[in-house]
Each structure stands twice: as structure tokens, then as C-alpha cells.
Amino acid sequence: MKKLILLLTVMTVLFAQMPTSEYLYLDIHSNLTGKLPNGNPAYLESKNIPYSYAFQYNYFDQRGDYRRPFDPEAKHYNDIEVSAYREMDNGLLFAGRFAYRYEQRKNKLWLHNAETNINVPFYFADSTIGGFDLNGIDWNIIFSYPLSKVTRIAVDIFYNVDEQFKTVFPKPNVKRNDFHIRPAVTFSGGKTSAGLMVSYFKFRENIQTKKYSLEQGRSPIFMRIRGLDRSLLTYAETSEERLQTITGYSFSGNIDLGDRLLAEMNHENASAGIVDGGSYPVDQGNWDMNRWYYRIDLRSMATRYMDINIFFKQHWDKARGYHPDLNALIYQYGYRNFRGGVNVPYSSLAGETWTSTIAYGFEDIHREDNLLGLAHYIPWTTFKVGIDYQLIRKGIEYSFDLNYNNIKIGETLEYNDMADWYYDTITVNEIAYYATDREEIEGGLKIAFPFRGRRAAISGTYKEVRPINNDTRFHETNMSVELQF
């Protein structure tokens, strides 16, 4: 039962947090710290060690015709990883993970950036549509050490290197080199704990097109996209190079009063500089992004078998882009997400738990091209219900969840008097994507069982996004196989 309670706690915390920096900027899903309570590496304690070492394969697939203009028609993500946990004689705890991943993105429009649609204003593109293949490795290690019976310190280090190729002419490629470090501390006593964590990251992305001869009879049109419209076009160049460097820091904290209260918050600031030209770099602009997040859980025991937990959470993002020559603000972006609800865990038998959740929220997005006077604002409300079932029988753990989310769009605003071809081709379709009533259905199943003296786990999730007034769909599938030692 202790393992089941820990599993439920970790799942609740993961579901609550805002996207990690690795997921937002790099589209890398795995993160050892994110799997720990309150997303803090100093919560790596002996009771949180799930196994000695494990091998895991993950397959992630996205496809559908309900998508944004720069989303690929289909995306396949393969990940093979090895992870390990070890406790040293002096109390030092170690956790490590090494992964290889291979991505394929089919029929992706224009953009060369390895990760797109993160609502920053500067992108590099050409005039062709094609596939993108990515190979990469990343590793993540945590060291956690007890200073006393109540104080524990830790550090989490993440490193990634990968390379992405476009499969059609002019065949640009993207090389990334990324680093993230998170020192942390926790204070624990009985059922009460508190934690603090700071982090620093630096993500570098180098985009290059291969040299080609104009005698081939074809030459791409290179585009430097700024804001919502009026891209800068370059014709008949033999090669191009762009370097983007994202540097950021964050601060987070949490207070956990056991059966009564959980509160956590996080603030992250990131800034980027973009230059073109290799040996003689030319500024293309810079942008910054601020992200805030908080969550409050109020917990109470209704009966011996049932708890009632009320939660409130909010995160909001703000981004700004600056012109390289005018040194003026040319782009602003804002996103807000607030949600409140209740979840009710009910334990009817030893090792069996049902958790039902109901939540209501408000979200909105605002984008503005200050240089051209273009803007749009889209609000929507969300209503979500879900059920989660956990069962342990004869050493076999079963987990099943099912969620339904209904999204209703409010009154939208749009200013487009100065729009040009790019706005009509791209931005209008982005607006249509967000300003669509839709529903989301998501389900997952996991089974963990003994296997030849080891422990194996098989899991899968499926998500479908269904717009209300048209026949387009979006599908997302994730499957995982794990062998633990």
C-alpha cells in the first residue's frame, strides 16, 4: 500500500507541473527530477528508489489533420534508455539515466528550427516542405546527500547533443548542444517537508544549409520570420547559417504538510540571442520568456477510506521579441492557464484505490506584432473529468486512467488591417487552430509484474483531440516497455 500511495503522489505532482525546460525548448520528455515528489532532486531518498537499474523502450507517435501550420503531418519518436539507482555506504544516493532517441517528422512546413511553436518570434526557413530526421543522446544524473536527519542536498545535471536533417533540397541540418544543472535542498520532519531548487540552463542550436550550385537549376527562397507577418526573403544564396543560444535560470520552492496542505511555486526566465552568418555574424533579434507557476492542494480525510483534495493551480507565460537594428519591441506573447478542482481518492480494499477528478479552468492566449499593428486574443474555458484506478494483487500492479476534457472558445478579437501574405498563409490558420471548440479523450493502462526474477512493466496511453464542428482529428499514442533489476 505504501508503494501505491507513493505512486499516486508522484502522478499527481507530475500532472500538476508546468512543462520542463527540456520539454518546452528541446521536446525531450524524460527527466529523472520530474519523476520525484515536487520535482526536486533532493527528494531522492531510499524510500523513493524504485529499482537498482532498468532498461526501457518508448515509442511516441503523433498524427492528424487538426494541427498548426508548422506542425508535421506525423511525428514518430523512439527512445531507448538505461537508468540506475544506487545507495553508497556514506549515505550518498545516485540516480542516472542515459538515452538514445530517434525522431522522424513527416511533411513539415518550412521551419528548420528543431523545435517550433514555442511562441517566440524568430524562425529560419526555406520554401520547401519535407521530412526531418533527428538522432540524439542525452544523459541525466542526480547526486543526493543527507547533511542531517532533516536536511538533504542534491544536484541534478542534464546534458543533450543531437542532430537533425531535412530530407529534401537544400537539406539544412540542425545541431544542438544543451546543458542544465539544478542544485536543491529539502528539509523533512515526520509528514512535513519543504524544498528549494534553483537551476541554470544553456541550449545552443546551430542551423546550416549545405552549399549547392546554382547550376543545379534550382535555388530555395530563404525566409527570416519575425513576428506575425512580413518575413525577410533571400534569393539564390549558396549557403546559410544561424546560431540561437537560449540561456535561462529558474527558482522553485514547495511546502508539504502531509495530509493537510501542499503548496509549490516556480519562476523561470529565459533569453535568447540569434545571429546569422557564421564567421561574420549579423544580429537577427533577441527574445525573452518568463514563466510562472503555482499550485495549492488542500487535503482532508472524509472517512477512513476516502479523502477529499481541493486544488488550485495557475501558470502563465510572457514572451517579447526585439528588432535587431531598431532595438525596439516588435512582438509580445502571453498565455494564462488557471484551473481549480477536486480529486477524491477512495480505498475500498487493501491495495485497491479509485481516484475521481473534476476540474474547471480558464485559459487565454494573446499575440501582438507591435511593428505592424497585428494582434489576436483568444479565450477559452475547460471542463475536465477523470477516473484513475490502482490495484495491487499478488505482486502485480495494475493502473488505469480515463480523462475527458471539453474546451469552449469565448469571444475572440483580431486586428489584421496591415496583414500581408505570410499572415494570410500562416497566422490565420494558427488562429483557427486555437479558436476551435473541441474535446479531448485520453486513456492509459500500465501493468507491472514479476518476470524471471526481475520486474517488468508495460504501459500505453492514447489521446484523441476532436474539434466539435468539423471532421479533423489529432491522435497521440505512447507505448513503453521496461525491465527492472
**pLDDT for position 4:** 38
* Cβ neighbours of residue 276 closer than 8 Å, sequence gap 6 or more: 124, 224, 240, 241, 242, 243, 282, 284
For residue 47, what pLDDT band results from cuts at 50, 70 and 90?
confident
**How sure is the predictor about 124, in pLDDT bands with cuts at 50, 70 and 90?**
very high
Compare 1 and 316 and report the one with higher pLDDT.
Answer: 316
pLDDT tens-digit series, residues 184-232: 999 998 889 999 999 999 999 999 987 766 555 677 889 999 999 989 9
Residue-range definition of the domain harbouring residue 306: 2-484
Instruction: Write the pLDDT tens digit of every residue in 48-70.
Output: 888 999 999 999 999 999 999 99
pLDDT, tens only, 291-303: 999 999 998 887 7
pLDDT (mean) for 408-434: 95
Percent of the chain beyond pLDDT 70? 95
Give the chain's domain count.
1
Average pLDDT over residues 91-101: 95
Question: What confidence category does residue 14 fall into, taking pLDDT thresholds of 50, 70 and 90?
Answer: very low
User: What's the mean pLDDT in 276-286?
Assistant: 89
For the purposes of burial, counting CB atoms within 10 Å of the CB of 371, is it exposed (0-12), middle (13-18) or buried (19 or more)? buried
Mean pLDDT of the chain: 91
pTM of the model: 0.91
Whole-angstrom distance, CA of residue 79 vs CA of residue 29: 10
pLDDT category at 350 given cuts 50, 70, 90 is confident
